[in-house]
Structure 1
Amino acid sequence: MTMRQMNITRRGALGAAAASLAAPAAQAQAPYPAGQSVALVVTYAPGGASDVIGRIVTDGLQARLGGSFIMDHKPGASTSIGARYVARARPDGLTLLLGTISTFTLTPLALRNPGYDPITDFTHITQVCDSLYLLVANPRWNSLEELLAAARARPQSISYATWGVGTTAHMAMLDLCNRAGIEMLHVPYAGSPPAMTDTIAGRTDCMFALLGACKGHIEAGRLRPLAVPTAARTEQLPNVPTFIEKGFPGFISTTWYSVEAPPRTPAPIIERIRGALAEHFADPAVRAFMATQGMAPPEIGEAPLVERIRRELATNRELMAKAGMEPT
């Protein structure tokens, strides 16, 4: 072999090696979702506040990443059915989870075997929002005082609906009953829409509900707002008192949502999703719409989300112990 032939062969080998080394980088920069359909698993039945939040997420991702982002409802078992599904899905970025405070800080404590670990079985992308919820009742109840007086006079005769055992609605009512020294009958549902339907119809008396889900019913007079668990009255419902005003100091609570992926989802995909959501939630029009629904924009990133999950797991474990609540 001549010297010229050796140089050509050497250059070819080096070129092949360089192409091989560059392949992962090129793959990492590949379009996502490259025209494919991505399912955002929602752990509640259609028609509730999760649909509003899910639509904000899917619309934002689709506008900024292309492809098709759809909501896939998998309700039941206090959100664990949908969570387990995503935890075991292929880590290809085509299956995501609309996570909730219940999924990550309550259900793992309320169920003896939820089927997933809230920290290690997911790739935590980012928080989506903090969302206002409040106590609403069938319109036959005129005030919080009237409802609690009836519950105090007739233990277990006044019922409250929730969207599942161990959810934020359940824990908030347990906290209220404990503070008020009353006993009420818990009626759990697979999601907030059927719970709200029965409260409107009078089959249950009251429930904690997200503002985004019940605002229209309040405006139409089908539900009566009794109190909000916030430090001050809210801009959306300025005439509704806080629980603090009604004699329950320190009764402050919000619920939150997040976007999650299966474990071992490639980092480039996670960063594309996180970056798209950061852009979306920085949009003034999106923030204005969220405000009308009682939603506060999130702190973007994995670290604040994981820290929040760990902190609230500890807090809720203590609250459940005080309420005498055992895993089922």
Structure 2
Amino acid sequence: MTTLAATSPTRRCATLGLLAACALLALVGAGVAGSVAVPVSELPHALASLLAGTPDGMAATLLDLRLGRASSAFVTGAALALAGVMMQALVRNPLADPYVLGVSAGAAVGALAALLFGAALWLVDFGALAGAVLISLLLYLLARRDLGGGRGGASGGVLGGEPGVLLLTGVVLASACMALVTLMLSVAPESRLRGMVFWMIGDLAGTSWRLLPWVVLLAALLLAMRRARALNVMALHADAAVTLGVNVAGLRRFLFACSGLLTACAVTTGGSIGFVGLVVPHACRHAFGPDHRTLLPAAALAGGGFLVLADTLARTVLAPQQLPVGVLTSLIGVPVFLFQLHQLHLRAR
């Protein structure tokens, strides 16, 4: 049986402290970089004017145009990376993420349907949540033998025995969702078409401070951390987890629900941004090990910092023209996905 090396509390704190410092540097970089550069020496004055309630022009630029967008980028990347860790633990396969399993596509269908009819923002959020939950429910029903402890025990069926089947099911569901997205784009009025296309690709332009994604992210992270030890045991062997008293069926239901909610919040904030939930957990697992007590918060911090950097690059590389950040994440994610697929094929031979 594969062993899972424990991470010492000192090393865990050092790792998370380093990632938090890197994320903070990414946020500072997002504040100073742009078509109009803000000198780093001016940041203290701009922040002081914000705190004093008398923001000048530079402070308003920092708050509304850059730091608000960077905040949205961070919470979106953190939510996608955390959802990716949960899905990979669920199917015990490093290729799983919200984009590949179709959960992002389901959220996109619900949100774009609301946008097509000019609905209010809260209805867009609700539509994305409904789409993500529907796809998660379909995947859950297809794997219900594993989740409910049916025939084959904890490790039989799709989730335990053949996780590739669930991945292929997610790909098929994602294709069906994209067909619905194409249908909606073909009938959308000209005035809404461009915004819907950019939103579908994944674009953070125009985003600002939003409280709800942060609440969902922090709640999901805290709840997941309480189950980190159980996730470690289930990652080794689901049958062993049942023997040790872990409620595997309940844990998998939690992972399905929580990852769907995180994906919905990410999609409503930044659109359908792909492969963050694949690239970041893979990199964190390779760098810091598979211990979920470290992996969960590390993936959230690294995912947030990664998307902030990607979005900063997207809006500065061809400034003043801005690129959709989803294009950059896909260009990074596709080679990683193919590499992981090749590695899994080699190990299976």
Question: What interval of TM-score do these two structures reach, taking the shorter chain for normalisation?
Answer: under 0.3
More helix, by proportion: 2
TM-score scaled by structure 2?
0.27
Q: Larger Rg: 1 or 2?
A: 1
Structure with the higher strand share, 1 or 2: 1
TM-score (norm 1): 0.28
Structure with bigger RCO (C-alpha 8 Å, 6+ apart) = 2
